[in-house]
Structure 1
Amino acid sequence: MNYLIKCNTPLYSVVLLFLIAGTTVFSQNNDAFQSKNQFWDKVQFGGGLGLGIGNGFTNIAVAPSAIYNFNQYVAAGVGLQYSYLKQKNLFSSQMYGASIIGLVNPLPEVQLSVELEELRVNVSYENINVEDDFWNTGLFLGAGYRAQNITIGARYNVLFNKDKNVYGDAFMPFVRVYF
């Protein structure tokens, strides 16, 4: 009988070792899973869709974006943008690019923003057979009123150049929504 106990003791130890190791491995996987979920819990998605159709005029825009909330005061994110614009018998234009945005909420109702936008612009003028391709850089400083996921405000492009710019003015209103 003593011999059986000695033989089973190493087997019992090995089984116990595997149970402890397995529990440790699963708890580490659980921590990694929770860390991953905590990251995605702080990410919000948003962006814009636009469609304008008129008498010989078409404007289509898609601009998805995402931000990461570091805390209740600071967030940063990235965005993509594509836009197609055509005025029949006059011109057509495509713009595509990316942006980086930083948001600061000093008060729950106030949102300050800084956004760097880089767009590639391709314009074709139909009547005179001229094409114009250029990069448009915008650095926007903005402020808005925030209510939960929606911010309404205005931004100003400090790099605005009236001779070579895709926007008609340096000052622009905005509506920002993140879910």
Structure 2
Amino acid sequence: MNKIVPSGLKMLFFGACLFAGSLSCFSQNPTQKSDFWNKVRFGGGIGFNFSNGGFNGSIAPSAIYQFNDYVAAGLGANVNFFKFNNQKFWAYGPSAIVLGNPIPQIQLSAEFEQLRVNSSIQTIGGTFESDYWSPALFIGAGYTTSFATVGIRYNVLHDNQDSIYLNAWTPFVRVYF
């Protein structure tokens, strides 16, 4: 005697088997995933420089890759504003940074930035504007905690004529999460 199974029940059984099969496929352990994103930290720095009649402020978001407990490197963007008497400068551009921690509390850094400078100088004869590129290579040191560093850096390429920074020494606060 042949039993006839209704087609709706066949479809339900087929759907249940398909669903169970797909669950077992997705529950398998995939091949080992890359650990890359677990070693990427986001953050950046801010800086301020004050002098007689002048101010320089910067913000620099960035991302670094933590190779190990001692070395990290990354890329960032910089935006700077500088005002000195009748002069105003806006500067923006990319940067690359290498960080080293010989001991957990000390962070050494080397950072290269290439900034596009838009300047405006107001004089009695009118306003003079110029646009140019200004490179900077900073060597720095700071005291660090697990996520923040406070320190000072020195621009070895500082030029009193074309540099946006008032002097070669710049304090900084750098944070990475």
Q: TM-score, normalised by structure 2?
A: 0.71
Residue 171 of structure 2 aligns with an amino acid whose one-letter code is: P
2:92 equivalent to 1:71: no
- What runs of 5+ residues in structure 1 fail to find an aligned partner? 1-18, 52-56
Q: Which amino acid aligns with 2:112?
A: L
Partners of 1:157 and 1:85 in 2: how far apart? 16
Output the CA distance in 1 between the equivalents of 2:170 and 2:67.
Answer: 27
Displacement of 1:172 after TM fit? 1.2
Specify whether residues 43 and 83 from structure 1 end up closer, same or farther in structure 2 by C-alpha distance, changes over 3 A only. same
Q: 2:164 is paired with a residue of what secondary structure?
A: coil
The corresponding residue for 1:110 is 106
Give the superposition deviation at 1:153: 1.0
Higher helix share: 1
Q: For each residue in 1:81-106, what CA deviation from the matched residue of structure 2 results, as whole angstroms up to 9, or x when unmatched?
A: 12355789x44432110110000101
Paired letter, 2:110: V
Aligned residues: 152
Matched residue, 1:150: 148
Aligned to 2:97: 101
CA RMSD of aligned residues (A): 3.1
Cα deviations by residue, 1:23-75 (Å, 9 ceiling, x for unpaired): 69x544x523xx1xx21111111124689xxxxx9988542111110000000
Q: Determine the structure 2 residue equivalent to 1:54.
A: none
Identity level (%): 47
Q: 1:83 to 1:168 in 2, by over 3 A?
A: closer
1:136 equivalent to 2:134? Answer yes
Contact persistence 2:56–2:166 (CA under 8 A): no
Partner of 1:47: 44
Q: 1:84 to 1:68 in 2, by over 3 A?
A: same
TM-score for the superposition, normalised by structure 1: 0.71
Q: Identify unmatched segments of 5+ residues in structure 2.
A: 1-20, 49-53
Match of 1:173 in 2: 171
Quote the residue 1:164 is aligned against.
Answer: 162
